[in-house]
């Protein structure tokens, strides 16, 4: 009960927020607790959403909903009505939800629900109703206590009957019986158990796992099923360009993970590859080339430069400031030999078309020279593949020439997009168009000029899996522990990452999971490896079904939406770095490094503790 109250208190603390509203035609600031349905809330980048509401103004607004939905990237919002019934939270693009954060743009919404009626309040209600289970050893000790008490009671009655039959006084027999019953109590067991628990918590803390409840140390050793969140636990939570392709010409594989600019690009298809080339083989110049170690020269600066210039994100050491997808592109540019800061200083923007979810692209304009040395205003464009392929007029060729797009060769880009998407990658297309500086008007309606584009490259971006997580999952399988991935991402992406990590079984969406009966799921659970787009109720139901099959369940999570399932599981594991306060309060173990491999180490040590306790109890 005290933990539930602490969880709700943490949630309440998060809810304290100042909201900017329009009342009587004036924009005023009020405490979020004073909001009522019907209020008009004004939001911009950096604000926290104070209530659930329907957006009616959406100017390139994106909202980060990871704590609520588990999505690894910010969700673009619009004002179009959602007509389908039972749409997952992550797909309700016309809604904004309490306690999520605006990362880009601005918007206005009309408040629909507040307080406990919001999606966040619904989770708080689930958390309050969810009861925590006893640990396996506590259940066994309860049974042992009943057995010992029963044996002592029977022995006490037998002593009295035998003593009376032999003519002994009732008082003497009664006192001897009580002494026997007391001696049957293992008085040293609580001290031994507590000592082993406390020693275990110290060892686990040194291994980056902080255990909040002593009995949970032993529960770790009994775990037979792990339900793990994907983003940040099994993956790095750092969007990374894994490959890029020049349609119909070349395909490159990109090494390196996260926001480190170390890595290399390997030519996997097209011109003769020679040896892989690495960053640093060519210094940065305006005409810079990237060389393979012993193969043909390929000038990729024209592909890399727009990735640096058509982006607002920037790197601060290993950390990213800005949009994660843009972060993947600027890191790719750095790996390819482009200094992003120097490029932006050399080619400042003269105009731009900011990203908008309505047209799904962004464009920036720069004064440059074309390959003939003629001054041009060059537009660099990045955006969704379906939009930019439709707006494309030609393909860029490695030699600098262009190839007109026709019905006979348009499929080259479409096929590459399909191939990358099926691999679970998020595809971004980079393109450009040149304009005459004499006639270019930066104040014109620039979006109308975004046609007949020259397609430069298609970039496949993923949140890469942790290397150590794959090894840890293999260890789990060898130890008889089944690992399942639970995520808010789309099923195709989740299934691809799951396959790469070695998570066996089919992938279901939250909707498919919810429509199945308990009996169907119990029969199919062993064959299910990934569940995507899940609601908090689905997570609790999964844990309950696994427990009904006599599994000891460990559940990991970092968001508010994970808290009820963390509390329901035998071992709730929260993330110490990215986890919300609510999830940390609901969990019994906190990972200080947010690493799945740490859970496996903790389970291994928990098994040793459990084995030692079992030996003592048998003794």
Task: Give me 401's structure tokens.
Answer: 């020439």
CA distance 531 to 373: 54
Are 37 and 111 contacting, i.e. CB atoms less than 8 angstroms apart?
yes
Are 298 and 277 contacting, i.e. CB atoms less than 8 angstroms apart?
no
CA distance 588 to 201: 12
Q: What is the DSSP string of 536-557?
A: HHHHHHHHHHHHHTT--EEEEE
DSSP letter for 222, please: T
DSSP E strand boundaries for 292-371: 297-298, 314-316, 319-321, 349-356, 361-369
Considering only CA atoms, which of 220, 254, 250 is closest in space to residue 329? 254
Are 482 and 545 contacting, i.e. CB atoms less than 8 angstroms apart?
no
Q: Is 570 a catalytic residue?
A: no
Are 290 and 282 contacting, i.e. CB atoms less than 8 angstroms apart?
yes
- Give me Rg for the CA atoms of the chain: 30
Name the catalytic one among 229, 356, 538, 558.
229
Residues 6+ apart with CB under 8 A from 194: 214
Are 89 and 68 contacting, i.e. CB atoms less than 8 angstroms apart?
yes
Q: What is the DSSP string of 90-125?
A: GG-TTEE-TT-EEEEEEEEEEEEE-GGGSHHHHHHH
Helices 467-478, 596-618: axis angle to 10 degrees equals: 30
CA distance 322 to 320: 6
Helices 536-548, 119-129: axis angle to 10 degrees equals: 20
Are 118 and 68 contacting, i.e. CB atoms less than 8 angstroms apart?
no
Residues 6+ apart with CB under 8 A from 306: 380, 381, 382, 430, 431, 432, 456
Are 107 and 77 contacting, i.e. CB atoms less than 8 angstroms apart?
yes
Cα separation of the two ends of the chain: 35
CA distance 235 to 324: 14
Helix H or strand E segment including 477: helix 467-478
- Specify the pairing of strand 314-316 against strand 319-321: antiparallel
Query: Active-site positions?
Result: 229
């Amino acid at each position: 009960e005290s933990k539930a109250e602490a969880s709700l208190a943490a949630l309440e603390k998060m809810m304290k927020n100042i909201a900017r509203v329009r009342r009587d035609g004036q924009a005023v600031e009020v405490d979020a607790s004073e909001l009522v349905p019907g209020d008009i809330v004004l939001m911009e980048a950096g604000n926290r959403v104070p209530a659930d509401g329907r957006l009616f103004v959406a100017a390139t607004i994106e909202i980060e909903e990871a704590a609520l939905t588990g999505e690894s990237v910010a969700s673009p919002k619009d004002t179009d009505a959602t007509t389908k019934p039972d749409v997952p939270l992550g797909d309700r693009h016309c809604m904004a939800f309490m306690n999520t954060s605006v990362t880009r743009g601005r918007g206005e919404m009309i408040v629909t629900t507040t307080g406990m009626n919001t999606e966040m309040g619904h989770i708080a209600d689930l958390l309050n109703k969810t009861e925590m289970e006893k640990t396996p050893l506590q259940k066994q000790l309860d049974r042992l206590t009943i057995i010992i008490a029963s044996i002592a009671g029977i022995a006490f009655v037998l002593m009295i009957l035998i003593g009376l039959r032999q003519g002994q006084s009732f008082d003497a027999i009664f006192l001897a019986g009580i002494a026997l019953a007391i001696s049957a109590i293992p008085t040293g067991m609580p001290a031994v158990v507590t000592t082993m628990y406390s020693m275990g918590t110290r060892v686990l803390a040194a291994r980056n796992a902080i255990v909040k409840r002593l009995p949970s140390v032993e529960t770790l050793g009994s775990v037979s099923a792990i339900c793990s969140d994907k983003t940040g636990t099994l993956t790095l939570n750092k969007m990374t360009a894994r490959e890029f392709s020049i349609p119909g010409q070349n395909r490159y594989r990109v090494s390196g993970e996260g926001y480190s600019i170390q890595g290399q690009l390997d030519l996997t298809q097209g011109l003769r590859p020679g040896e892989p080339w690495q960053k640093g083989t060519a210094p940065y110049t305006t005409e810079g080339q990237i060389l393979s170690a012993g193969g043909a020269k390929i000038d990729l600066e024209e592909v890399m430069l727009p990735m640096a210039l058509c982006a607002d994100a920037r790197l601060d050491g290993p950390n990213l400031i800005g949009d994660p997808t843009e972060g993947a592109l600027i890191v790719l540019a750095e790996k390819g030999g482009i200094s992003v800061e120097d490029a932006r200083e050399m080619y400042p923007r003269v105009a731009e078309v900011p990203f908008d979810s309505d047209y799904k692209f962004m464009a920036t304009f720069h004064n440059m020279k074309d390959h003939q040395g003629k001054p041009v205003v060059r537009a660099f464009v990045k955006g969704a593949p379906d939009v930019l392929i439709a707006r494309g007029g030609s393909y860029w060729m490695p030699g600098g020439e262009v190839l007109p797009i026709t019905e006979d060769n348009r499929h080259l880009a479409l096929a590459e997009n399909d191939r990358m998407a099926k691999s679970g990658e998020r595809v971004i297309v980079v393109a450009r168009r040149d304009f005459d500086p004499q006639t270019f008007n930066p104040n014109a309606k620039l979006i109308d000029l975004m046609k007949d584009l020259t397609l430069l490259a298609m970039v496949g971006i993923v949140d890469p899996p942790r290397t150590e997580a794959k090894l840890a999952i293999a260890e789990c399988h060898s130890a008889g522990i089944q690992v399942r991935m639970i995520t808010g991402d789309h099923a195709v992406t989740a299934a691809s990452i799951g396959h790469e990590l070695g998570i066996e079984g089919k992938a279901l969406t939250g909707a498919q999971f919810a429509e199945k009966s308990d009996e169907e799921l119990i029969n199919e659970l062993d064959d299910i490896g990934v569940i995507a787009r899940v609601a908090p109720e689905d997570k609790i139901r999964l844990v309950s079904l696994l427990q009904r099959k006599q599994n000891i369940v460990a559940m990991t999570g970092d968001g508010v939406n994970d808290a009820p399932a963390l509390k329901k599981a035998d071992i709730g594991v929260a993330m110490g770095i990215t986890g919300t306060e609510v999830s940390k309060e609901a969990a019994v173990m906190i990972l200080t490094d947010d690493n799945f491999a740490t859970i496996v180490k903790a389970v291994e040590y928990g098994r040793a503790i459990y084995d030692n306790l079992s030996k003592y109890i048998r003794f």
